[in-house]
Chains A and B, each alone.
Chain A
Amino acid sequence: MRIAMEIKNHLKNNFVLVFFQVIILSIFLVLIYIFLSFTSGIQAKIHEFNDVYKDKELFSLADTLLDPNEFYSFRSSKKSISLIGDFYDELNQTTSFKFLSIFDQQVPVENFKGDISFDYAYGTEMHNIGKYKDEASGKVYQNIKSIQMNKNTFDFYKLEVDLGNTINWENVDYQTRKIPILLGDSYRNIYNIGDVINGIYYNQLFEFKVVGFIKKNSFIFYKGKSEKYLDDYLVIPYPLELSSNDQEDNQFKGILYFAMINGDIVAESKGNTLQYVLEKMDIISQKTSFDKYTILGVNNFVVQHKKMLSIFNVNKNLILVILFLSVLMVTLVFAGISYFVYIRRKMVYYLYFLSGCADNKIFKLMGIDMSLAYIISFLGIAILTLIFNFWIVDFILVLLGITCCIYLIIYFILLNILKTDFSIASGV
């Protein structure tokens, strides 16, 4: 049997029907993808969330020097800065809780190699976006997204380096103005391990040496957002200690130290965790004579977790209903069109039957006729997958399973029709 010729004839005669089937199926497959992405994505996030934040509570720590003059005079004082340094070191080293020091200070980078998506202003309403020339030096800079963090943060969020080396925290010495950094996954084809990126960090020229790339889709909890992805960020480590930097420039220290004491406190859930944290903070404050801080007492983890669960639960049932109805509708419509196609192709099957063609060959032809739309839709989606690389292999396998089930149902229905219809020669 010349299958290729029969497919060509089938398409020639039933093009509109097949096209309609392809459209319906493609829309249906997209719906399936959206559903799978949504549920698996949310569920994965909830699992990750539970992994990281289980039995823990998070509070925000912020300084209270809101008045600009007061802030300026405080950080201009060497003694005050020293207090902050001691305060930070106590926070960083305490075993009563974990202090996660995180800040997203933008870094002007000289001759930046990446595109606009790495710009600090990208995706915001800020106007200063793109490269610019510094009048003083004549060099070209671009303000790049950057996250600064301490080792506690890095360890707490289980950030992993999957290319190169992780930060050797002992080597983080700001005095040399040369510090190792990590880059987000999106930087892989832009910079290499060992590259040195020149940037301005709190008005100081720094050489940032790339030592590694962080695993794709790594994220942290930052400023109430449960997923701040680091793929397009420079990750700059904070030093392990501050109090020993006596030779450091005062102005630089002032800005840096204040940034470093703003962060999150993570404590084990104890019943009255906030009270416990406040007590411990009080001890540190008294020890270091720094009391210009406040703790935000809302358990941000709980808030975020509840939001996620709520999104999932509210939408899950709705999506399931939509999915069920879609599957039902698609199956019915598809079965209807398939049967109509079968009626139009019946004469071909009948003549093969009349000529003495074996049943399995006729069934094979029927099967191909019925599944042609599936094959076209599936191939189309597979090609899109390869071009745009945004579908997952698992999705393809699930799609294959679903479409096979629908196809088999229709095929077996038609199989019985064939056995009944072609038992006698007349009646076509």
Chain B
Amino acid sequence: MIQLININKGYILPNKKRLVLFENLSLKIENEKSLSIQGRSGAGKTTLLNIIAGLDIQYDGDYFFDGIKMLHKRNMMSDFRLKNIGIITQKYDLLNDRNVFNNVAITLHCLDENRKSVKSKVENALETVGMIDFKDKYPNELSGGESQRVAIARAIVKKPKILLADEPTGALDEETEEEVLKVFARLQKQGNKLVLVTHSSVVASICEVRYKVENKNIIQIP
């Protein structure tokens, strides 16, 4: 499904020196139901996730999705992301000016879905993450775990081919983390493909395949 070939990425530091993040990095995601990407801070896990999501197009190398080469163009990547990718960020990023229902629906507004369809899909997504009873509540009324579950609902509402999560439990305590991981487990069973970036081995353990970003490349962990 996803193939990254010879990805090279670097940054120019404030002192004008070039920092190389990836050197000829290649990754293939095909039949795995879930995949974790681990590594120390600054190794490039989030950057790799951004590349997969099409958020970052400033790199050299090839990106294939379902056999189609992805061009380094914003509009193409936006369209690709809209149809195929669901993203869960670490900080939930819920909008306080609207309730849970409208927070989840924001994704569907990009697809210009009609009201009936939006209602049906949002309620399904909220039921999946166990937050249907909270649909009229506002983000400031939710706990961390509840907020993260709403963020997950927002990512899955459009039924993407692949879910990308960047440190999904990074801001949560152990008990809440377990709740969220149960949701991820449920999603896997329902056939959703997951790519989780995490530095937590507990989170990584729920994934079928584990990778580690190290020395400007990515290796599979047994």
Contact = CB atoms under 8 A, between A and B. Distances in A.
Contacts of B55: 354, 423-425
Contact of A352 (B50, B57, B110): B110
B53 interface: yes
A13 B96 CA distance: 10
B65 interface: no
Contact of B110 (A12, A356, A424): A356
Highest count of chain B CB atoms <10 Å: which of A2, A13, A353, A354: A354
Interface stretch (B74-82, B188-196, B201-209): B74-82
A347 B93 contact: yes
Nearest to A361: B110
Contacts of A359: 74-75, 78
Highest count of chain A CB atoms <10 Å: which of B46, B81, B106: B106
A356 B97 contact: no
B78 A357 contact: yes
Majority secondary structure of chain A interface residues (helix, strand, loop or mixed)? helix
Interface in B51-101: 53, 55-58, 74-75, 78-83, 85, 87, 89, 93, 95, 97-98
Given A13-B97, A425-B56, A352 B81 contact: no
A356 B95 contact: no
B101 to A, nearest CB: 12
20 contacts: A1-B109, A1-B112, A5-B109, A9-B98, A12-B97, A347-B93, A347-B95, A348-B95, A352-B109, A354-B55, A355-B82, A355-B87, A356-B82, A358-B110, A359-B75, A423-B56, A423-B58, A424-B56, A425-B56, A428-B93
Interface residues of B, number: 32
Contacts, number: 74
A189 interface: no
Interface in B164-185: 166
A244 interface: no
B50 A424 contact: yes
A425 B93 contact: no
B93 A356 contact: no
Given A1-B112, A424-B55, A353 B78 contact: yes
Nearest to B81: A356
Contacts of B95: 9, 347-348, 351
A389 interface: no
Majority secondary structure of chain B interface residues (helix, strand, loop or mixed)? helix
A350 interface: yes
A350 B87 CA distance: 12
Contacts of B98: 9
Contacts of A424: 47, 50, 55-56
A358 B81 contact: no
Interface residues of A, number: 24
Interface of A: 1-2, 5, 9, 12-13, 347-348, 350-359, 361, 423-426, 428
A398 to B, nearest CB: 36
Nearest to A12: B97
A351 B106 contact: yes
Contacts of A355: 81-82, 87, 106-107, 110, 158
Given A1-B109, A347-B95, A425 B89 contact: yes
Contacts of A358: 75, 78-79, 82, 110
A417 to B, nearest CB: 15
A132 B74 CA distance: 82
Contacts of A9: 95, 97-98
B97 A426 contact: no
A356 B85 contact: yes
Given A9-B95, A424-B55, 4 more contacts: A355-B106, A356-B78, A423-B58, A428-B93
A351 B75 contact: no
A358 B110 CA distance: 8
B148 to A, nearest CB: 15
